[in-house]
Structure 1
Amino acid sequence: MEHKTDKLIFPRITLAGLKGGSGKTIVSLGLSRLFFQKGLKVKPFKKGPDYIDAKWLSLAAENSASNLDPFLFPVSKVQSLFWSFANFHDIAVIEGNRGLFDGKDVHGSYSTAELCRILQAPVVLVIDCTKVTRTMAAVVLGCKLFEEDLNLAGVILNQTAGQRHRTIIRNSIEQYTDVPVLGALPKIRHNPIPERHMGLISDQEHADLEDIFQSISKLVEDNVDTDKVLEIARHAPCAAPVHEETNSLHKFHNHDKPTIGVVRDKALWFYYEENLEALRQSGAGLIDLTLLDKKDWPEIHGLYLGGGFPETMAQALDENTILKKRLKILSARGLPIYAECGGFMYLAESLEYEDRCFSMAGILPVRTKLFKKPQGHGYVQARVARKNPFYPVGELITGHEFHYSRCLELPDNLSFCFELDRGVGIADGLDGICYRNVLAGYTHIHAFGAGKWAENFVKAALIYKNSVLSNQESCPDIHCQ
């Protein structure tokens, strides 16, 4: 990467909250869209493991969002990934997750505040002011003093009841702290983006996206001093050039690339863009596929099934018997298949949802069922315990899980790839069912925290491709070295 100067300049702002549901997503989306409309090239980021907020940020900024999390991958890669965008964007809008200081332990490890210190990013705190006035000044002062080296540059009041309410809170914060109030949002009757059990509803379920973003951006423009927010972002400190490559995965050199299919449709669409880019850099050609169409697929040499909401498309998945038969044949022939969460659920025999049972691909001898409460939620630390195409035995990987489904009545002869030091997985701290060259489970990985996953995936796809070219009846079971 070439640098224009000996210092990297990257205006940036982090929108954080006191808790989940504080309003930081609405503000982040509104600012991203407004800055874009000003002619700025906006690079959105989402702190933590999250697909849905990141997708909405991408749509608001009309630019793909990246996730940043010091648990999912090393701090050096957090920095190199972030700063790799500096010379090509005018501003970074970073949306935090949960409360500002909330992490995985009492020390706040891997919190939004920690990420802000890593990136030297100023923080604007979005605070829910429902049924509170002067007390909010004490809360803001506490956040200002709670951790050293945190640049709390301003607050935005949310859910304010009226002008008198806003005036008392604003005057209290400005009298008792030196933190400026940058705006005050009124109570809104309806969330412009409805939510379901895993957070915001997918953009794919809305036909009126422009109306949604127009409503959000007007709300923010009318009630927030966006020029002041932009000024704060532009005063963020410069950084020394980052020399580490954002993706250190070895590039596989091959003139005839193997093709890996990536299912991206209304059922499955949870992917980190860096995962896909890592596959490309490792030598794969990627092609988008769908589980919802009965048309034949082109020839593929590997298949990536991400997470999503298979339950919302369960009827269509059930009825596509042609594709299910095709996938069974491909998996039996040894096609390398990597499936995460929703993709794992699709590979099972069935999916129970809202008192109905739907037939899935039937590649794995398990059945899943959706419940009203999370069955697994949080960071995952896994040790690779079994030979497979994607990871060497003994490797430690980091990831996350968030699923409302779980498996029912597991057979005794299942082979699991992952032993979890942290996380729930499929059952009893085990995750990642192995069958032939299939690895499927509830754990989501990020390529920067998963060793040579991408490189190994591409090598496995090439082995499969060569077996097809040599007219072998099936590809051998592939074991990562």
Structure 2
Amino acid sequence: MNFPRIVLAGLSGGTGKTIVTLGLCRAFLNQELVVKPFKKGPDYIDARWLGLASGQYATNLDPFLMSNDKLISLFLEKGQGADISIVEGNRGLFDGKDVDGSCSTSELARIIKAPVILTIDCTKMTRTVAAIVAGCKAFEDGFNLAGVILNRTAGERHRSILKNSIEAYTDIPVLGMLPKLKENPIPERHMGLVSNTEYSLVDKALNTLGCMAEDCLDLEAISQIAAQASADLSSAQDAWGGIELSSESKPVIGVVRDEALWFYYEENLEALRRSGAVVKEISLISSEPWPEIHGLYLGGGFPETLADEISRNTGIRNHVRRLADSGLPVFAECGGFMYLGRDVEYEGHKYDMSGVLDLSTRLCPRPQGLGYTSGKIVYENPFFPVGTEVIGHEFHYSLCVDNKEPSPKYALEMSRGKGMAEGHDGLIRDNIYAGYNHIHALSMPCWANNFVKAAAEFKDKKA
């Protein structure tokens, strides 16, 4: 099967691979190609930008959260019909969760049998770049290093030495050389690139990167590398295995998707639909009344940056509290969990939230939870049966403080990760499940089935 694909990787975080990948996506889009972007690992922000650059939403591929067969099946399904599939790696090329490099970008490339193009930050480096390229090529068996892109080069003389060194000591082609940029076209902050919802010059920035890619990269050679990817790629497993129709009554699940909360895997929403739900997008910021809903999904995001607007929207805050008190199934992750508390403290100010849960959260200067998570469900809840092994990830700068919930009950006992209370997460009250942990529906198929079932039961009781 013809399935043109490449993986864009870097030697570490901060090498500029995201900027290169965005430029490449926009440049191919400008050639009127259908570009399907993928993001390796648990990432919402880069994935959003990749979608904007390519005109197609990005799909996350994660060897930790999915089996190899599920991962390949998802990759084949979402890349079907694209002229080229572009996968942006994360962290360093060989960096995984252990000394063997498991769940690394290089492992993902082997799983999907994709050639790798390595982006190298060449600041204050000349001939050493050849040693790096040669070392990367030989480091792992079955690894296909198909080319390199040299980033942050200082001038023609610098570029000449870099290119000649690589050609003299390796057989890896140089596919382009990018200059140092005076300023990043897309601002950054503690979690990486800023959200597109907070930046008014999105198209201008992406067009600038697209033009840079057209001027500095060999797009034809990159296309040829993608087209030469192995045709021997198949999966014996359905990506959606275990996710099934759990209700025919079409309960409505409201998904808060606005400038404050927008961290969602598209597959999570698709899983809810496959299980029988009608998914409707709603907002915490807009004063527009919500439709009738039978379940509420509050994803992650940046509620702190829009805390004033959220706080002033008393109508919606009160509405959420009434819904939660009525027994509505509510699933809240990270930013959504913060919204369910009494207030959020950010930059010295406290902002009222919904008050569903009697606790507060405070933004800290350093991460309070970062990385993959795992644990076991130890308390009954509407979403996961007791004894279920839960895997996911967390990345939060906020901390749960002043928890006055009476005898708080935590559904998730964590063996890996911090959660919201010393290795516990998933605070339970009535039909509410709230915490810092993010899950992916394909790794936890029971989640969508049970969420829709609970929403259908709520709908029936209301009727």
- TM range, smaller chain: over 0.9
Inter-partner Cα distance in structure 2 for 1:51 and 1:422: 21
Partner of 1:472: none
Amino acid at match of 2:256: V
What is residue 291 of structure 1 aligned with on the other side?
A: 284
The answer to whether residue 32 in structure 2 is matched with residue 23 in structure 1 is no
**What is the match of residue 343 of structure 2?**
350
Match of 2:414 in 1: 420
Distance in 1 between residues matched to 2:78 and 2:339, nearest whole Å: 36
In the alignment, which residue of structure 1 is the partner of 2:76? Answer: 83
User: What are the equivalent positions in structure 2 for 1:56-455 lying under 5 Å apart?
Assistant: 56-252=49-245, 254-411=247-404, 413-455=407-449
Q: Give the conservation status (yes or no) of the 8 Å contact 2:390–2:444.
A: yes
C-alpha displacement of 1:34: 1.4
State the distance in 2 between where 1:361 and 1:253 align.
Answer: 30
SS of the residue corresponding to residue 419 of structure 1 reads strand
SS in 1 for 2:161: helix
- How far has the Cα of 1:122 moved from its partner? 0.3
Question: Distance in 2 between the 1:293 and 1:169 partners?
Answer: 53
Offset at residue 86 of structure 1 (A): 4.4
Partner secondary structure for residue 49 of structure 1: coil
Superposed CA deviations along residues 121-145 of structure 1, whole A, max 9, x for unmatched, are 0000000011111111111111111
Secondary structure at the counterpart of residue 445 of structure 2: coil
* Aligned-partner SS, 1:379: strand
Distance 2:438 2:309 in 1: 24
Letter matched to residue 307 of structure 1: G
| TM-superposed deviation, 1:325 | 1.2
Equivalent positions of 1:5-20 (< 5 A) are 8-20=1-13
Deviates more, 1:65-74 or 1:410-419: 410-419
Cα offsets for 1:384-424 (capped at 9, x unmatched)? 11100000001111100000000113347211011111101
Q: Distance in 1 between matches of 2:424 and 2:248?
A: 39
Cα deviation for residue 67 of structure 1 reads: 0.2
Residue type at the aligned position of 1:447: A
Q: Once structures 1 and 2 are overlaid, which stretch shifts more, 218-227 or 31-40?
A: 31-40
1:45 aligns with 2:45: no
1:222-272 superposed Cα distances (whole Å, 9 cap, x missing partner): 111111111100000102543532212343265430000000000000000
Asked if 2 retains the 8 angstrom alpha-carbon contact of 1:368 and 1:406, the reply is: yes
Q: What fraction of aligned residue pairs are identical, expressed as a percent?
A: 54
Aligned equivalents of 2:407, 2:247: Cα separation in 1: 38
Structure 1: 5+ residue runs without aligned partners? 1-7, 470-481
3-state SS in 1 of match to 2:269 = helix
Q: Which residue of the partner structure matches residue 47 of structure 2?
A: 54
**Alpha-carbon distance in 2 for matches of 1:283, 1:37:** 38
Residue 42 (structure 1) shift: 1.1
Whether the aligned pair in 1 keeps the contact of 2:247 and 2:452 (CA below 8 Å) is no
Counterparts of 1:83 and 1:216 in 2: how far apart (Å)?
A: 28
AA in 1 matched with 2:34: K
**Residue 425 of structure 2: SS of its match in structure 1?**
strand
Q: Is the 8 A contact 1:368 1:408 kept in 2?
A: yes
**Residues 9, 239 of structure 1: 8 Å contact kept:** no
Determine if contact 2:36/2:79 at 8 Å carries over to the other structure.
no
Structure 1 position 449, deviation (Å): 1.1
Q: Distance in 1 between matches of 2:46 and 2:354?
A: 29
Aligned residues: 462
| TM-score, scaled to structure 1 | 0.94
Distance 1:160 1:231 in 2: 25
Are 1:460 and 2:449 an aligned pair? Answer: no
Name the Cα RMSD after superposition. 1.2
Give the letter aligned to residue 453 of structure 2.
Answer: K
Partner letter of residue 427 of structure 1? A
- Deviation at residue 461 of structure 1 after TM alignment: 0.1
Residue type of the alignment partner of 1:105 = D
Output the TM-score relative to the length of structure 2: 0.98
Q: CA deviation at 1:321?
A: 1.3
Contact 1:249/1:282, CA 8 A, preserved across alignment:
no
> What one-letter code is carried by the residue in structure 2 that aligns with 1:341?
C
Q: 2 CA distance for matches of 1:253 and 1:437?
A: 18
How far is 1:366 from its partner? 1.3
> Secondary structure of the residue that 2:372 maps to in structure 1?
strand
8 A Cα contact 2:8 2:88, kept in partner: yes
1:228 & 1:240 partners in 2: Cα distance? 22
Partner of residue 3, structure 1: none
Question: What is the match of residue 478 of structure 1?
Answer: none
Mind listing any 5+ residue stretches in structure 2 that lack a counterpart? Answer: none
What amino acid is the match of 2:261?
Answer: L
Render the CA deviation track for 1:265-304: whole Å, top value 9, x for unaligned. 0000000000000000000000000001223211000000
Contact in 2 for aligned 1:397/1:451 (Cα 8 Å):
no
Inter-partner Cα distance in structure 1 for 2:203 and 2:312: 33
